[in-house]
Every structure is written in C-alpha cells, then in structure tokens.
Amino acid sequence: MEGCKPATVEVATRADARARIAVLIPALDEEAALPHVLGDLAGVHPDRVVVVDNGSRDRTAQVAAAAGALVVSEPRRGYGSACLAGLAALGRGTGALRPRDVVVFLDADRSDHAEDLPSLVAPILAGEADFVVGSRVLGGGTAALTPQQRFGNALACALMRLLFGARHTDLGPFRAIRADALAHLAMQDRGYGWTVEMQLKAAAAGLRVREVPVRYRARIGRSKISGTVRGTLGAGAKILGWIVGWRLALWFTRRRIPRFL
C-alpha cells in the first residue's frame, strides 16, 4: 500500500470565495431509492450533486439525470472506483474543486438521512475540522445494521484505536472532507476499503477529525454487501486487510506520512 502523497486541487481565484458543497453518490442498481435520495438532498441545497453509475443494469443513470444530477459512468465495479471517478469529474472544468470546498459522500440506497448534511459539514465550514464522519452509532441508528455489520464495525474501530490511536465509533459512509485534505490523502482503494483507508490516512496525516451523530434506517432494496455472504466476507477481509496491512507497512518500512498543514 502506498503512502499519502500530496495531490493537486485547483486554487481558488478569490481567497474569500465561499466554500462550495459537492455531494458524491456512488450508485449500482438504485433506480428505486435514488429519486428519494435526490429529493431529500434538494431540501438542503448542495452546490453540486454527482451520481456515479457503477455499471447499473436498471435506470439508475436516467433517474439521476432527470433529477438534475451530473451523471458519471464508471463501469469498473467497486465503491472506491465509483468514488475516484466522481472525484475526477469534480476536478474538471470551470467549476473544479477548490481547496476549501467540501466533498460529501452519500450512499444511494437512502439508508442515510440526506437532511443531516448541514450538521455533517458544519464543523468543516466553521474551521474546526478537516474531515467529519457521520456516526450511526452516536446517532442511535445501529438497529438498522445487520449483526455482522455491527460486529465488523466495532472490531474495525477497536483495531484502529489500538494500532493507530484513531478514536472512531463508526466507519459510516456518510462523511465530509475538505477538498485539499482529500487530495492530500491520495486515495487508491477501488473496493470496500475506501472508507477505512480514508480514516487511517487521515489519522496518519494529522487531519482534524470529528464525528457527528447521523440518523440511519433500513435501506431500500437489498444490500450488495451485507445482503450476501460473499459481499460480507469480502468487505470484512478488505477492511481488516487495510488496518493490519497499513500498520505493518508503517512499522517495517518506517514510512513517514506527510502531515496535512
């Protein structure tokens, strides 16, 4: 696994420009849920919404476009692949991400409450944090998680605290991060390790990290991960592999992670 490498984010033309909020939604066969998610988002008025169609076989792309979202196609399957494709799209054109802009990651299945977005981004906009994780545990939403999700989440958080001193209660996918901080992390995982990679690298880079409570509910439709044995085992192995592998890499290579300033 590679270390964090500073990456480039377009410099704002005005130092006092307002931080913009961009919401990135990876989506795979979410035709039924996505209209509700985008409708909920309309009430909190983000500046940009990008839906990444990750090889859907239904009308995911069409319903996203009809709701006014920018649709990006990424046929290579994987949560991280979709996120990387969405970030690439956000980095292009006249509206490209500026350093102080905020990127929000939101699932397309409506398990998260998009209405909680203002509280998620508030610490970043106030200059109190670089990276905010929406905690389903603090928000009292763990009843909607499967037993294997609750166990895996608790185990991963315990290992992150033991091996990295990173104090998290959740690997929640509903999260927000400053654009320049995200670029600094040089994200690379193309699968289910994306969320834990971000948290591990954030700890190593010294980002100011906060957790805020978010609500959580049963998703619309069947989960591609926790809804199957293969998905559950694959995601669990990837997450634990990142935690243990990253710790071993830091120990044995004496690799120094650039600090985010």
**DSSP code of residue 187:** -
Each residue's pLDDT tens digit in the chain (261 positions)? 444 443 434 433 344 468 999 999 999 999 999 999 999 999 999 999 999 999 999 999 999 999 999 999 999 999 999 999 999 999 998 889 999 999 999 999 999 999 999 999 999 999 999 999 999 999 999 889 888 889 889 999 999 999 989 999 999 999 999 999 999 999 999 998 999 999 999 998 999 999 999 999 999 987 665 455 555 677 678 888 889 887 887 777 665 677 886
pTM check: above 0.85: yes
CA distance 36 to 11: 34
The structural domains of the chain, ordered by start, are 21-253 (3.90.550.10)
Dihedral (CA of 69, 49, 73, 222) sign: negative
169's tokens? 């209660």
Containing 184, the helix (H) or strand (E) segment is helix 179-185
